[in-house]
Structure 1
């Protein structure tokens, strides 16, 4: 019987040490996450409720584009042809944009990279969205403060007419409102 009690006490001590270590790891992970956000200068793009900055650019089919061009709820995606997650998310964005009410006028895709690298993305996105091809410091990336890819946002004018992000975590797996 004393051996059984000793074994039970030992298992209890091991479980307690395990719990303390696990809580310590969770605390450190939270601290590291906050530190990475601070060192990185904040979030990867605008957050919900933030106003989109001024921009003026042209689409790949030479049509002018600025903040006033985005009227109504518009999905905006930023993709880089050199990032693997972009390769995986692009088909979902295309399917989502294809079913949006308003068609390509309510979808905007920004391909960040040079023309040669971005050619495949541009050709795949052009049927379902207005497409802009730019460098990482281009007007769209600057206006949306985009620093990570892929980034997908929903934007719309607010009650005062300012273009703001209405959703910074668009669920592309959820069907959009059909045309």
Structure 2
């Protein structure tokens, strides 16, 4: 009988250890999920020097915007209404855009999602940028190959006049004059 009690004690100890390790693993996975979601679109989705695809879209202000309108260095921000890091970054992007030489005319913001859900983004970005609201896979997002959000780029014409990505990791936490 003592052998049975010893075996039962070993099984109980292994079960308790398994439970402890499982709880620790779940906790660690939750921490990693938060870290990964906070990274958002920090990984570049289009390479520096890559040509921006052709697009035409209508901004919420009613003006038509196309690749041909990007004649000077332009700040581009692409956000999704379902993206938590986008909601946290939109204010920094707007503050950064206010410091852009050339003002609102040299800032393009794209909000991916339902127009009704995009209202808070539009109100924050409209004073400092031309804002386009489009569905996932829309023409502007496709032109910039945006697959991760938020995506923040600087684009400019190259020597041949092609609109290319000048920077694919724009740091919006500091003024445009200082950031690279």
- State whether TM-score is above 0.5: yes
Matched, 1:56 2:81: no
Alignment gaps of 5+ in structure 1:
1-42
Q: Report the Cα distance in structure 1 between the residues aligned to 2:44 and 2:141, rounded to whole angstroms.
A: 11
SS of 2:116's equivalent in the other structure is: helix
SS of 1:120's equivalent in the other structure is: helix
The structural deviation recorded for 1:88 is: 1.0
CA contact (8 A) 1:44 1:147 kept: no
Runs of 4+ off more than 4 Å = none
Q: Report the Cα distance in structure 2 between the residues aligned to 1:68 and 1:56, rounded to whole angstroms.
A: 9
CA contact (8 A) 1:44 1:145 kept: no
Matched, 1:144 2:137: no
Give the CA RMSD over aligned residues. 1.3
The structural deviation recorded for 1:44 is: 5.6
Q: Which residues in structure 2 correspond to 1:69-84 (within 5 Å)? A: 69-84=69-84
Q: Report the Cα distance in structure 1 between the residues aligned to 2:55 and 2:116, rounded to whole angstroms.
A: 24
Q: Which residue of 2 aligns with 1:128?
A: 128
1:88-109, Cα deviation, whole Å (9 max, x unpaired): 1111100000111111001110
CA contact (8 A) 1:52 1:163 kept: yes
Q: Which residues in structure 2 correspond to 1:34-53 (within 5 Å)? A: 45-53=45-53
Q: Report the Cα distance in structure 1 between the residues aligned to 2:70 and 2:174, rounded to whole angstroms.
A: 22
SS of 1:115's equivalent in the other structure is: coil
1:45-64, Cα deviation, whole Å (9 max, x unpaired): 21111000011111111101
1:128-159, Cα deviation, whole Å (9 max, x unpaired): 00000001111001111111100000000000
Q: Which residue of 2 aligns with 1:34?
A: none
- TM-score normalised per structure 2: 0.73
Q: Number of residues paired by the alignment?
A: 136
